[in-house]
Amino acid sequence: MDKILQRGITIKGGRDGELKEDNNAFSFDLKTPKEMGGDGQNAPNPEALFGAAYASCFAPL
């Protein structure tokens, strides 16, 4: 199968770290949700990013 699109993501620091797209298209500080023992800072968490990615790929057009 031929590649259609390839992207890379680098994450440093785990759930309370930073995420960076390899082409510098976007970057985020990540924070653990308060419900999971985090400090409640207003920042994306892995669950929210997964949900957004899943929804954008499989939502009806």
Mean pLDDT of 31-41: 89
pLDDT for position 21: 94
Q: Where do the structural domains in the chain lie, given as residue ranges?
A: 9-58
Report whether pLDDT(42) > 80: yes
User: What is the model's pLDDT at position 58?
Assistant: 86
Fold category of 9-58 in CATH: N-terminal domain of TfIIb (2.20.25)
Strand order in the sheet with 18-21: 9-12, 18-21, 27-29
The pLDDT assigned to 31 comes to 93
> How far from 60 is each of 1, 4, 22, 38, 52, CA to CA, in Å?
25, 21, 28, 33, 14
> pLDDT digit string (tens) for 7-19?
899 999 998 999 9
- What's the pTM value of the predicted model, to 2 decimals? 0.71
Token pair, residue 28, equals: 């985020």
